[in-house]
Chain A
């Protein structure tokens, strides 16, 4: 018999239950959140406080920054210079104060140093110190200031040294460039001056000719010149100026040619004809050195030599000619003076003085002497109308000479008064204002230029008017030499035109003369009166009614008057 044994149902102790701690975790997170927020606010507040501390520290440092003088005094007194700088390195305020103070101090150092550098630069520019002194001065200045600052803050000293070092280096570099430039200019001046000296010595070298050295070597002129060329080339290379080389080589060549020509010219000017023969291959120069120099000349140089010899001769001839002309002019002036004195003596009937002047004139101007001697030995004659007219027209044409007047007087065709008038006219012709006034008068009245004969009625009228005004002008000038000839003749012309009416109107006279010439083409040889009668009686002779009426009323009556004056 089987009886069952109780079998376990398998109940066991339950597994460890999963108990969550989320509540505690959240509580912890709440605390953490609270803490974080409080930290955030606290940090914010601390940052603000730090900023405020930095600002206040910086202000404090700036206000209490030591001066360079205080530093110098502290160093001199052997004190610890770090103690006079406000602030510290442990706190925000202290660091800011120290940084600000160091910055202010460094800035002051830099300003003072820059001033000192500028002072050194000024001294250098004023040539009070040299470049080396400038460099040593700036180096010492920067080193000294840096050393002082380093006692307080090596970092600030390094920054100061770097900053001021840039300034001092720039200043030194600028000064060095200036110095180099000046040195370069000085060197260039020396080279240029040296080259100019070479060129100036070219003539001496050419004149010296070939020379013998101490070792017996003969050095020719060409060799010496080549040496000069090399020197010029070296100088041009030194100053790096190709144009200078070209210019100076040209000058040297010209100087050599001039020197050669000059050497030969010395003898050629003494014997130009012989020199020309030698140049063209006939003979030799007397001086051996001259001949040697001539032998070194090429064709172009010989052409220049010939040209200069010819130019020198031409100049010589020109000078001689000018001297002759001067003597002739002086003699003529002297003759004119003596003739004027003679005329004055004759007109004043002072024959003793006239004789004395004649004696002087004989030596100065024999022709004038002969002419005046005739006058002296002739009594005054009677005016010959044609002679007077001719002389007057010569005068108007500025062709009248004393000889013309003397000849007319000598043959008895002038009385003393007319002789005096023409002499005064000649004398007045030296006055430019007088001449201008007469030229204007002639132009105004219508006197033709360069014509002495065959005056028409209008020209004759103008000739008479000019002669009349001219005589009046001469008389006026005789009485008062200070009057204005130009104004005088203008006034006289105005008076003449007012008194004579149409007869004094030169323009109208010209119109009348032209009308007469036109009408005479139909009636050759007719007088003005005949033309008037024809125009009056025969309208077809001059058909234009308006012009015909003007001819009858004005022009032909004027022409009749002009012809009547002849």
Chain B
């Protein structure tokens, strides 16, 4: 602190103004990093919601597939029985097997899609949170760089107290 006070005491008005502006700039950079981090955090939450929404849509699609499968099997069984056919053999059974196999396939496909959507949302949210962290870090780094540059520039300016006097 004593060194800084001595440096400021021997500095010109322009030097002091330059240092002050650099300090304000550094603070601004930190603030900018924080604001950017907040924006990324919001985007992370939005990505989570978006993943959840997609997951629910796929799960709803799976339930619809199950309902249609049961409906087809019931219809085949009912119509075969009504027609005097054995619903559990022959063509009716084949139709029922087809419906069960295809419906199951589609159901699992929708389940996997739902899971994929959930993971995607989590990954994206994670990316945004990571970006938020990096943005905050960048703000600090820019501020440190600005402060360091200003300090070095200040040091190279020199002054009456920093140069040697002529020896007579």
Contacts and interface: CB of A to CB of B under 8 A. Distances in A.
Given A37-B145, A48-B152, 14 more contacts: A2-B79, A5-B99, A6-B99, A8-B106, A9-B65, A9-B106, A11-B62, A11-B107, A18-B124, A23-B126, A23-B134, A40-B145, A41-B148, A41-B152
Contacts of B148: 37, 41
A44 B102 CA distance: 70
A6 B141 contact: no
A30 interface: yes
Contacts of B23: none
Interface residues of A, number: 36
Contact of B127 (A5, A23, A40, A45): A23
A61 to B, nearest CB: 21
B145 A41 contact: yes
B156 interface: yes
B152 A22 contact: no
Interface of A: 1-9, 11-14, 17-27, 29-30, 33-34, 36-38, 40-41, 44-45, 48
Interface of B: 40, 43, 47, 58, 61-62, 64-65, 68-69, 72, 75-76, 79-80, 82-83, 85, 91-92, 95, 98-99, 102-103, 106-107, 109-110, 112-113, 116-117, 119-120, 123-124, 126-135, 137-138, 141-142, 144-145, 148-149, 152-153, 156
Contacts of B137: 30
Contacts of A26: 40, 130-135, 138
B130 A6 contact: no
B153 A18 contact: no
Nearest to A36: B145
A25 B36 CA distance: 14
A21 B113 contact: no
Contacts of B65: 9, 11
12 contacts: A3-B75, A5-B72, A6-B68, A7-B72, A11-B65, A11-B110, A13-B109, A14-B117, A17-B117, A17-B119, A27-B131, A37-B144
Nearest to B151: A41
Given A19-B123, A24-B130, A8 B138 contact: no
Contacts of A13: 109, 112-113
B155 to A, nearest CB: 9
Contact of B141 (A14, A19, A24, A30): A30
A48 B156 contact: yes
B128 A23 contact: yes
B61 to A, nearest CB: 6
A23 B145 contact: no
A4 B72 contact: yes
B69 to A, nearest CB: 7
